[in-house]
Amino acid sequence: MMGKDSNMIAKDAYVWVADKEKVWKSGYIAEKPKSDTEISVAFDDDPSNPVVVKVFGKDGKTKRVFLKNPEILEGRDDLTQLSHLHEPAVLHNLERRYLDHKRIYTWCGIVLVAINPFEHLPLYTDDIINTFRGAERQNQPPHVFAVAEEAYRLMGVEGRNQTLIVSGESGSGKTVSAKFAMRYFAAVAGGGGGGGAHGTVEQKVLASNPIMEAFGNAKTLRNDNSSRFGKFIEIHFNRAASIMGASMRTYPLEKTRVGFLEGGESS
């Protein structure tokens, strides 16, 4: 509750407020609130005209106002370093990293958050692969190669199977992220960055996708080529940690879209 946070009710505290158009708007508390349910906020785009906003939604439970993080914390490469970890803080941090520095990867503890830039970025070259080879995750910047290297290293050290879970909305870049992880494995465990029999594992696995996706992919509001299948990809290594082969299973996940479509979508 708002009343339990003394900083929230302090005058001049910077906050995020839910907004229908911009999702979240930034501003500061213009005067000391007289209650825990309403505050006067001077928004950044019009600070001379403070607006009284409700702290909670119509249900009386959904919070609409959150404290902002200090500017010194903006753009951190690990979300757990933020003083306040909530939706607007996460979105703002990711936005600043991408808009200011074209950084699409951010840690959230052991989880890697990725933004789909919808453009090709020079982040996956052989030189970059070599910077992650053999390095521990905590000593590297956030990157899908860092996650792949951690799994590969732990597999060798512990002798146990490792799992990478790639999840996200339609069009978020799940297939491409899996592709880059397989490229890394092919480079460090397949005899180079793509050459040789083992180095083509990535290409062989991905080459099996178009046939299945020709029957299963469809257009959504966010993705013109959305996969209708979940994929379970296994890459097999020998005791020397070299790639021996791979297998892939597909699972139909969106049967409902065959019988029901949103406007602008196709099955």
For residue 174, CA distances in Å to 30, 56, 171, 180 come to 43, 34, 8, 10
Asked whether 18 and 64 are in contact (CB, 8 A), the reply is: yes
pLDDT at residue number 221: 66
pLDDT at residue number 209: 62
**Full DSSP string of 11-80:** TT-EEEEEETTTEEEEEEE-S--SSSSEEEEEETT-TTS-EEEESB-TTS-SB-EEEPPPGGGTT-SBGG
Count of beta carbons in the 10 Å neighbourhood of residue 188: 23
In the chain, beta strands by DSSP E: 14-19, 23-29, 38-43, 51-54, 65-67, 105-108, 111-114, 229-237, 243-252
pLDDT at residue number 25: 96
Burial of 206-223, coded b for 16+ CB within 10 Å and e otherwise, reads beebeeebeebbbebeeb
- Would you tell me the crossing angle of helices 174-189 and 144-158 to the nearest 10 degrees? 50
pLDDT at residue number 264: 66
pLDDT at residue number 215: 61
pLDDT along the chain (267 residues), means of 10: 51 94 95 87 95 91 94 95 96 96 96 94 95 91 97 92 90 87 88 48 65 64 68 88 84 63 64
CA-based end-to-end distance of the chain? 44
Name the pTM for this structure.
0.84
